[in-house]
Amino acid sequence: MNKRRVTLAAAATVALVAAFSVYTATAALLSGPDETVSDLTTGAVVQIGTFPATGSGEKRVMLLQQTNNGLVCLWDAPSADSPERLGGCNPITDALGNSTSLWASTQFDGGPRPEDVTDLRVMGIANADVAAVHLHMSNGVSQAIPFNGREVIIDGAHFKTFSYRLSDKGLAADNAPTAVIATDASGAAIGTQKTGL
Amino acid sequence: MCSKHCQLRRFLSILAISLVSLVIVPVALAATIYAGPQVWSTGQSGGSSFSSNWHGNDFTKASSADTTVTFIDNVTYGWHNTVRNSNTLTHTYWGTSDVKKGHCIAHVSGFSGSCYVYV
């Protein structure tokens, strides 16, 4: 009986070690995403702009969030308290990421063919050097995007903001947004973000 | 009255159930990585399994890089709540109970990152 008990205890110890090895490896693999998902529920969220209602969509809002773990996020959402937020985040200490002038994000439904895309929206922030922002189309036409959002301060720096909803439903390969381009006072391009169509 | 052997078996059963719970419960609550971590190339993409449970879909990167995240439904295979930007985290959310999969695309090369979906 004692020998049997010792054998069972040894087997239990082996199982314990094996199980915890699996658990530890799994937890390590997933801790990054889980921490990020959790962090996105923290910090203050402020409405800084709107996407006015059009035939293709109801009014939406542009939100700025600064999380407890040091991310600054720009969201396109149905309302300030909705979890259905589309956009992205950068470190607060590097709000524009690799860009020195522009953070732009494109959101849409449908696709991936331009003909199937509906309710395309563009939003972003730009530093003081940016004089204008344009949405460039594949047919060569360019639409001006006004700085219509609230000015924001991130890590002590001031940024202009914009939110824009494309009202044209007739998107096609030869009439689709290709990029958001920021220009300085001389009209020179100083920042570009492709839109994906 | 349980014998000593019986008590040991009961103890081992409880221990086994506890250990399985320790492994399964965190995984059930966690994000599911479906692509990466890896160094990405232009045009490279990844997709999760189809599920009605997925609501969030993120592309997380070690540095800023131009990427897209979207959801693809299993009826029309159309894209939903697509987002493209160059942030270190590109994020979308689709709160419906439709069956869908997360999909992510890299538009530039040479950055490290991974894509994951979560409930």
ipTM: 0.82
Residue A14: partners with Cβ closer than 8 Å, 6 or more residues away: none
Query: Is residue A180 within 8 Å of residue A137, measured between CB atoms?
Result: no
- At A30, list the tokens: 């997933």
Surface-to-core class of residue B20, CB atoms within 10 Å of its CB (0-12 exposed, 13-18 middle, 19+ buried): exposed
Residues of B in contact with A4 (CB under 8 A): 5
By the CB < 8 Å criterion, does A72 face chain B?
A: no
CB pairs under 8 A between A and B: 142
The whole-number mean pLDDT for each consecutive block of 10 residues of chain A, a chain of 197 residues, reads: 62 53 38 85 96 88 97 97 96 91 95 90 96 96 96 96 85 92 96 87
Question: In this predicted structure, which of A128-142, A172-186, B14-28, B52-66 has the lowest mean pLDDT?
Answer: B14-28
- What is the tens place of the pLDDT at every residue in A66-106? 999 999 999 999 999 999 999 999 999 999 997 889 999 99
Q: Domain extents for chain B?
A: 1-30, 31-118
Using the Cβ of A35 and the Cβ atoms of chain B, whether some distance falls under 8 Å is answered with: no
DSSP characters over A69-88 = TSEEEEEEESSTT-S--EEE
**Which B residues 1-40 touch A at CB under 8 Å?**
4-5, 8, 12, 15-16, 19-20, 22-23, 26-27, 30-31, 33
Q: Look at B15 and A16 and tell me if their CB atoms are within 8 Å.
A: yes
Q: How far apart are CA A135 and CA B16, in angstroms?
A: 60
Q: Considering the domain B31-118 in this protein, what is its CATH number?
A: 2.60.120.380
Task: Looking at the complex, report in whole angstroms how far the Cα of residue A16 sits from the nearest Cα belonging to chain B.
Answer: 7
In chain A, domain spans: 1-39, 46-194
Is the predicted pLDDT of residue B23 greater than 90, yes or no? no
Could you give the CA distance from residue A2 to residue B34 in angstroms, rounded to a whole number? 48
Residue B113, both tokens: 């990152």
